[in-house]
Structure 1
Amino acid sequence: MSAAFDTTGLERCIHCGLCLEACPTYKITHLETESPRGRLHLMGAIADGRIDTRSSDATVLHLDRCLACRACEAVCPSGVPYGRLIEETRAGIAQERGIAPLGQLLLWSVSRPWVLRAMAALLLVSERTGLRRLARRLGPPRLRRLDALAPPVGRPAYRRVAVESPRSSVALLLGCVMRASYGDVHTATARVLAHLGVEVIDTPGQTCCGALHAHAGDKAEAVRLAKLNIAAFEGADVILVNAAGCGAHLKSYAHLLEDRPNWAARAAALASRVRDVSEYMQTIVGDNTLGDLGMRVTYQDPCHLAHAQGIRAEPRALLSRVRGLELVEMADADVCCGSAGYYNLAQPEYADRLLEPKIDAILATRPDAVVTGNPGCMLQLAAGLRSRGRSDIPVLHVVEVLDRALSAR
C-alpha cells in the first residue's frame, strides 16, 4: 500500500483468540481471515508492505466483510482498538482503490439532507401510485433488496416540544436517516424528556455525523462533517443522540481530529458532552415510573451501543420503569443483526446469514414488539420480520415505548 495509515494499537494483539467467538463473521464461516485476529494480521501485512491492496482483491474483500460491530473490543484483554484500526485501514485502501459506486452514492446522499428528502418524496409517490409494488414483483434482485431495506415513508417529521420552566436543556443530534425517516422518534424523545423536565433546544448548522463515511474509509468527508457538528454544538452542555452508531462516532471525534491542532481540543470537548438518550435518561429518571403499557417486548442491543459505548443496562432499566411491560430477553441479543451501516446492501449474503438467526431468536420470545436503539437495526429487523410474514410485530425505538407508556396514563 502506498498510502500510509495509522497502525497504533496493532501491536497490542497477543493472538489469544478470545475475539474469535465474539466475531459474527467468524461464527458463520469459521475462517481465520474472517476473524478479528486474522484481519489484524492482514492489516499488519498491508502496513509493512507484504500485501499490496492494489492487487489483492481477496484481502480487501476479507476486510470489507468486517461489520465493524466492535464485539471483539468488548472481549479483548489487551485493549486492541479494532474499530479505529479497521477505519484507518479502509481509509488507506480507499485512497488507492476508491470506494465502490454503491457506497459513493449512499455516502453522498446521507451528507445532503435535501437528497434524502427528495428520495423520501419519490418513495412516497411510488408507494401511492403502485409503482413500488410493481417494482417489488418485477424488479431485478438488487432493486428488490433496496426496496426491502428502504426507510419508512410518510412518518411525521420532527416537531419541537416546548417545556414550561424546564429544569435543564439539551441539544439533540437530528442526523441524516433519523431526520429524514424517523422524525417521530425525535419527537417522542423530546416528549419523554419534557415529562422529565428537560427541553430540547434547536441547534442550527448540525448535519450528518459522518459515521458511515468513517466506516467506509472516506476520512476526508468524515472530518468535514465532524467540523460542522463541532461548530454547531459548541454551546451545548449536553448533546443527546438516539442513534447508537451516531453516538459512538461523535464520542470518537477526539481521535478523528487528534492530528488537527485547531480542532483537537474542540473535538475532545464535544465528545465528552455526548450521551446516548438512554444513558442520559437513566441518570435523571430517579424513582419515577414511566407510564403504563401492557406489552411483551424483547430487546436487541445495537452493536455501537453495547460494544462501542458499553451501554447495555440503561435501556433495559428504562423499560423496567414501565408498569405492565414484560421484557423477555432473546438469545444472543448483542450479536449483530447484519445491518452495520450499509453492510446489508454491500454484503447481502453475510447480512442475511446473520439476520436469519436473529429473527429466529426474536420469534422465540413471542413478543408484541421488538425494541432497539439504532435506525439501521430498526430497518434490518423490520425487513427480516416482513420476510417471515410477521410484519404484525413492530420494531420500536426505546423512546417510542416510553412515549407510548406516558401517553397511555
Structure 2
Amino acid sequence: MSIKIKQDLPCSSCISNYLWHDPPQEKKWADCVHCGMCLESCPTYQQTGEEQHSPRGRVYLIKAVAEGNLQVDEDFADPVFSCLDCRACTTACPVDIDVGGLIEEARGQVRQAIPLKGWKGVVNKFFLHSLFPHSNRLNSLGSLLRFYQQSGMQKVVRKTRLLNFMPKHLAEIESIMPEIKGSVRKKYPSVMKAKGEQNHEVALLTGCVMDVFFSDIHKATINVLTRNGNDVTIPKNQTCCGALHVHAGDREMGRKLAKQNITAFEHAEKVIVNAAGCGCMMQEYAELFRDDPEWKARAEKLEKKVVDISKYLHDTGYEKPKAMLNTKITYHDACHLAHGQGVRKEPREILLDIPGVKMVHMPKADTCCGGAGIYNITNPEMANAVLKSKMEHVPEDVEMISMGNPGCMLQMAMGVQKYGRNQKIVHTIQLLDWAYQKEEGD
C-alpha cells in the first residue's frame, strides 16, 4: 500500500479533512518529533517493518489529514484499524504522545466517512448495538451456549469436525470457549455483605462479555472482596463499558453507554473492575465528552473511582492467605492494565503473597498478545502473528499463566492450544480466591 500526501501547507492555511464532530486533537500529536523510540514497542511495526504501521507513522498520517494533505479514505483506514491500540508506544514515548487516543478518534472519523456495509455492517450492528448493550439478550445467549456445552452438542460438533466448515479463526475461538456458568448479575443479589467487619462499600462492574463467559472470575472477585471487609453492590442499571464500540469507531454509541454507566455508578465509593480493557475505558470516559461540560465533569468524577481489583486490594490491604497452592506460574501484563492504567507491581505482589506460588519471569511480559478486544476476529492474520511472538517468550516450565483481562485469557488460551503447551490460563484474582477456599476447606 502506498499513501500519497500532498505538499505540506503552512499551518495557517491548513484546511482539515476531518469533516465530522470529535476529530483527533492537535494537542495529542503536537509534541511528536518522529524520534522512533516507539518503533520497538509496536507489535504491528515489528511484524511488517512498514512505517505506516508504526506509531509515529500513524501519528503522521493523522496529522496529515488534519492539515488537508490526506483524505479519510481506505488507504488511511487500513493503518488506523490495523493498530492494536495496546498503548505500549505511549509507555515508550519520551513525551507521552497519546497514540491510543488519536487512533480511537481517527477511527470515529473513518466510520463516519466510510460506514461498514454488507455483511460486515450487519454483523457490526448486531453485536455492538443489538447484543452487547443488552444484558437480557446476553443472558439468553449465555443460556444457549451453556445448553450447547452441557447437552453434548459441543462434543458432537467437535468430534464430527463440523468446525472445519467455519472460518479458521472462528473455529479456533470456539475450541477454547470457556465453560459457561451463568450470569452473576442475574443470579446474585444487588448487595453482598462483607464477611466479618465491614470497612468499605464498593460497586462491581459486571460488563457484557465478561458476565457471560467469565462469571467465575466475578464470583472470585466477590468472594475476595467480601472476605476482606467490603460490601459489594451490583448496580442493575449498569451496562457494557463501551470499549469495543470506541475501538470500532462507534464513538456515539460509546457515549451513550458511558452515560448509562456514569449514572449507574455515580454514588459508588469505588468501582471495582476485573477486566483491564473495561477499566481503562471507564478511566477515559471524559475524553468522550470534551465538548459537553456537564457530562465531562460527571465523567471525571467517576474516573477517580474506577480501580482495578488488584490495585484496590494492594492499596486498601488484604488478608494474606495461609493455604499452600504449590504451583509455578508466570505473569502476562494485559496492555490496558500495564500501559493503560499503569498497574504492574500490584498483581505480581498479590501472587507472591500466596504460599507455595513460585513466579517465573516472562521476558517482554508487557508486549501485546494480539487479543485486543475483538482484534483476533477482525484482523486474524496479524493477531496470530503477534500471538506467535508472544508465545515464544512464555516460559515452558510453568503450570499457569496469570493475567487480568478476559480478552488476553482467550487469546493466550488459543496460543497454549496452538503451540502444544499445557499451561492453564487464570485470572490473578482466581488464584487468591483458590488459596482462600483451600484455607477454609482445611
TM-score class, shorter-chain normalisation, is: over 0.9
1:105-156 CA deviation, whole Å, 9 max, x = no partner? 332322222332233333333342245324324434354245246x424235
- Is 1:106–2:127 an aligned residue pair? yes
What residue identity is the alignment partner of 1:13? C
1:300-341 CA deviation, whole Å, 9 max, x = no partner? 100000001111000001111101101111121100000001
- Report the Cα offset of residue 266 of structure 1: 0.8
Provide the residue aligned with 1:387 in structure 2: 418
Asked whether the equivalents of residues 18 and 76 of structure 1 are also in contact (C-alpha less than 8 Å), the reply is: yes
Asked whether the equivalents of residues 291 and 402 of structure 1 are also in contact (C-alpha less than 8 Å), the reply is: no
Q: Using structure 1 for the length normalisation, give the TM-score.
A: 0.94
Provide the residue aligned with 1:194 in structure 2: 226
Asked whether the equivalents of residues 329 and 365 of structure 1 are also in contact (C-alpha less than 8 Å), the reply is: no
Provide the residue aligned with 2:11 in structure 1: none
- Is 1:117–2:143 an aligned residue pair? no
- Report the Cα offset of residue 47 of structure 1: 1.7
Provide the residue aligned with 2:249 in structure 1: 217
Q: What are structure 2's unaligned runs of at least 5 residues?
A: 1-16
- Is 1:136–2:136 an aligned residue pair? no
Q: What are structure 1's unaligned runs of at least 5 residues?
A: none
- Report the Cα offset of residue 180 of structure 1: 1.1
In structure 1, how many angstroms separate the alpha carbons of the residues matched to 2:435 and 2:301? Answer: 35
What residue identity is the alignment partner of 1:368? E
In structure 1, how many angstroms separate the alpha carbons of the residues matched to 2:290 and 2:324? Answer: 46
1:49-91 CA deviation, whole Å, 9 max, x = no partner? 222123xx23211111100000011111122111111111000
In structure 2, how many angstroms separate the alpha carbons of the residues matched to 1:122 and 1:204? Answer: 22
In structure 2, how many angstroms separate the alpha carbons of the residues matched to 1:144 and 1:288? Answer: 41
Provide the residue aligned with 1:402 in structure 2: 432
Which has the larger Rg?
2
Greater mean deviation of Cα atoms: 90-99 or 353-362:
353-362
What residue identity is the alignment partner of 1:385? V
Cα gap change, 1:112 to 1:31, in 2 (>3 Å):
same
Cα gap change, 1:208 to 1:323, in 2 (>3 Å):
same
- Is 1:3–2:17 an aligned residue pair? no
In structure 2, how many angstroms separate the alpha carbons of the residues matched to 1:146 and 1:65? Answer: 20
Calculate the aligned-residue CA RMSD, in Å: 1.9
Cα gap change, 1:312 to 1:201, in 2 (>3 Å):
same
Which of 205, 216, 223 aligns to 1:184? It is: 216
Instruction: After TM superposition, list the pairs within 5 Å mapping 1:220-235 onto structure 2.
Output: 220-235=252-267
In structure 2, how many angstroms separate the alpha carbons of the residues matched to 1:88 and 1:189? Answer: 33
What residue identity is the alignment partner of 2:142? A
What residue identity is the alignment partner of 1:250? M
1:201-244 CA deviation, whole Å, 9 max, x = no partner? 13121110001111111010000000000000011011110000
Instruction: After TM superposition, list the pairs within 5 Å mapping 1:306-345 onto structure 2.
Output: 306-345=338-377
Provide the residue aligned with 1:39 in structure 2: 58
What residue identity is the alignment partner of 2:43? P
In structure 2, how many angstroms separate the alpha carbons of the residues matched to 1:3 and 1:148? Answer: 41
What residue identity is the alignment partner of 1:312? R
Which of 52, 62, 66 aligns to 2:71? It is: 52
In structure 1, how many angstroms separate the alpha carbons of the residues matched to 2:169 and 2:420? Answer: 21
In structure 2, how many angstroms separate the alpha carbons of the residues matched to 1:245 and 1:396? Answer: 17
Which of 372, 387, 393 aligns to 1:361? It is: 393
- Report the Cα offset of residue 6 of structure 1: 3.0
In structure 1, how many angstroms separate the alpha carbons of the residues matched to 2:387 and 2:169? Answer: 18
In structure 2, how many angstroms separate the alpha carbons of the residues matched to 1:140 and 1:187? Answer: 33
Provide the residue aligned with 1:237 in structure 2: 269
- Is 1:73–2:90 an aligned residue pair? yes
Cα gap change, 1:140 to 1:87, in 2 (>3 Å):
closer
In structure 1, how many angstroms separate the alpha carbons of the residues matched to 2:426 and 2:169? Answer: 27
In structure 2, how many angstroms separate the alpha carbons of the residues matched to 1:80 and 1:252? Answer: 15
| Identity value in percent | 38
In structure 1, how many angstroms separate the alpha carbons of the residues matched to 2:271 and 2:365? Answer: 27
- Report the Cα offset of residue 287 of structure 1: 7.4
Provide the residue aligned with 2:44 in structure 1: 25
In structure 1, how many angstroms separate the alpha carbons of the residues matched to 2:360 and 2:381? Answer: 29
Matched residues, number: 404
Provide the residue aligned with 2:13 in structure 1: none
- Is 1:83–2:114 an aligned residue pair? no
In structure 2, how many angstroms separate the alpha carbons of the residues matched to 1:303 and 1:294? Answer: 28
Q: Using structure 2 for the length normalisation, give the TM-score.
A: 0.87
Asked whether the equivalents of residues 298 and 365 of structure 1 are also in contact (C-alpha less than 8 Å), the reply is: no
Asked whether the equivalents of residues 328 and 365 of structure 1 are also in contact (C-alpha less than 8 Å), the reply is: no
Asked whether the equivalents of residues 3 and 93 of structure 1 are also in contact (C-alpha less than 8 Å), the reply is: no
- Is 1:273–2:305 an aligned residue pair? yes
In structure 1, how many angstroms separate the alpha carbons of the residues matched to 2:59 and 2:183? Answer: 43
In structure 2, how many angstroms separate the alpha carbons of the residues matched to 1:314 and 1:190? Answer: 18
